[in-house]
């Protein structure tokens, strides 16, 4: 009997098919609600929600690695910036149109996440977190060093006339909103499909008990590396979309605050839930937006809110909703 024949198969948790369908219908319903909201929201919130959907896609990428695989990274701003500059620099300096530039950002995201994952996964635990942080800081300093091309902290603007893709002007609010919704929907559906796949179940098994998963015969290192690649590529795609939709690329998006933001968004919304990153991003965005209108110490308020949520809702907003009311929620 060969190894592949004798190796136990990690089967999905004992959820009936109806639960999977409930979760799918719920998330598709959310996409429908977001589509309808564009017709009723005031201009200010219309623009905010488009931005939130792009940032939530970034957080969903982070959630694949942290929430589902159990790897704590502080280097995801590097992937977000890789996609942003991979798309933005060819447009700014080589005169590329958005279509090939977006593909370039996607390819750069794959390359950076694959190489960083290959090196960082030589470590584990706290060491993995520190190594990803060091790589992210190196990426940030590289952007500053090549300021002649990247414009450093100042960044550069992608002109409105250049942000036309397939004949669609993405600088127009309605087009920008729908493009952000398409990105968000693709990331959400990909996450749902991944979680319910055999590969996704192995990822979750690694999170729960890595040694046992290894003993069952699964290639833990390969699955973790692929999780880094999928996570980093989704973050890079979000970065490329952000630059294209909002017309700006800058070193701020590779700085310390964007190391921490995706972790906060995922923890607030609920790690290991498909919808958690969106809810966490929405909550944090408006918490900072509202508190900044009253005080300059808005990050202190955000920090206090995070502490209170951690104490009273340790599984995050969506995680607690799933625990108390909707156990079928993915």
Give 124-149 pLDDT, tens digit per residue.
Answer: 889 999 999 999 999 999 999 998 89
Mean pLDDT (the chain, rounded): 90
Distance (Å, whole) CA 128 – CA 73: 7
Distances from the Cα of 96 to the Cαs of 88, 90, 92, 100, 123, in angstroms? 9, 6, 8, 7, 39
- pLDDT of 34-52, one tens digit each? 999 999 999 999 999 999 9
Strands (E), 53-150: none
State which fold the 16-324 domain adopts.
ABC transporter involved in vitamin B12 uptake, BtuC (1.10.3470)
Weakest-pLDDT range from 17-31, 57-71, 267-281 = 17-31
Distance (Å, whole) CA 87 – CA 107: 10
The pLDDT > 70 percentage for the chain reads 95
Q: Does residue 3 surpass a pLDDT of 50?
A: no
Beta carbons within 8 Å of 76's beta carbon, 6+ residues apart: 58, 61, 62, 65, 132, 136, 231, 232, 235, 258, 259, 262
Beta bridge partners of 164: 169
Give me the pLDDT at residue 1, please.
Answer: 46
Supply 76's token pair: 């995801």
Contact 150, 156 (CB under 8 A): yes
* 156-157 and 248-249 strand pairing: antiparallel
Find, among 269, 230, 207, 236, the residue nearest to 78 by Cα. 236
Handedness of CA 163, 167, 171, 175 (dihedral sign): negative
Distance (Å, whole) CA 261 – CA 266: 9
Give me the pLDDT at residue 292, please.
Answer: 82
Question: Residue 46: is it exposed, middle or buried by C-beta count within 10 angstroms (0-12/13-18/19+)?
Answer: middle
- DSSP letters for 274-323: SSHHHHHHHHHHHHHHHHTTT-S-HHHHHHHHHHHHHHH-TTHHHHHHHH
- pLDDT of 257-302, one tens digit each? 899 999 999 999 999 999 999 999 999 999 888 888 887 777 788 7
Three-state DSSP string of 199-268 = HHHHHHHHHHCHHHHHHCCCCHHHHHHHHHHHHHHHHHHHHHHHHHHHCEECHHHHCHHHHHHHHHHHHH
């Amino acid at each position: 009997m060969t190894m592949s024949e004798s190796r136990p198969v990690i089967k999905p948790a004992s959820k009936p098919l109806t639960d999977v369908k409930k979760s799918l219908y719920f998330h598709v319903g959310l996409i429908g609600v977001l589509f309808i909201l564009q017709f009723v929201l005031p201009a200010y919130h219309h623009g905010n929600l488009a931005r939130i959907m792009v940032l939530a896609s970034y957080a969903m990428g982070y959630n694949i690695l942290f929430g589902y695989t159990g790897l704590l990274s502080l280097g995801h701003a590097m992937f977000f910036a890789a996609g942003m500059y991979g798309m933005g620099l060819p447009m700014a300096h080589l005169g590329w149109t958005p279509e090939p530039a977006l593909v370039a950002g996607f390819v750069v995201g794959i390359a950076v996440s694959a190489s960083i994952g290959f090196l960082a996964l030589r470590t584990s635990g706290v060491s993995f977190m520190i190594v990803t942080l060091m790589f992210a800081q190196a990426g940030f300093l590289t952007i500053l060093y090549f300021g002649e091309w990247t414009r450093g902290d100042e960044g550069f603007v992608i002109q409105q006339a250049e942000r036309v893709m397939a004949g669609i002007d993405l600088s127009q609010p309605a087009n920008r909103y729908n493009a952000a919704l398409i990105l968000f929907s693709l990331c959400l559906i990909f996450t749902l499909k991944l979680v319910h796949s055999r590969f996704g179940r192995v990822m979750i098994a690694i999170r729960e008990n890595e040694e046992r998963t290894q003993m069952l015969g699964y290639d833990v290192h390969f699955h973790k590396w692929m999780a880094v690649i999928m996570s980093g590529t989704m973050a890079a795609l979000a970065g490329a979309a952000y630059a294209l939709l909002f017309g700006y690329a800058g070193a701020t998006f590779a700085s310390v605050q964007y190391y921490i933001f995706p972790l906060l968004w995922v923890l607030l919304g609920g790690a290991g839930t498909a919808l958690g990153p969106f809810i966490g991003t929405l909550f944090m965005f408006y918490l900072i937006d509202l508190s900044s209108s009253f005080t300059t110490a808005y990050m202190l308020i955000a920090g206090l809110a995070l502490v209170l949520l951690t104490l009273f809702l340790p599984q995050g907003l969506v995680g607690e909703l799933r625990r108390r009311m909707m156990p079928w929620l993915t």
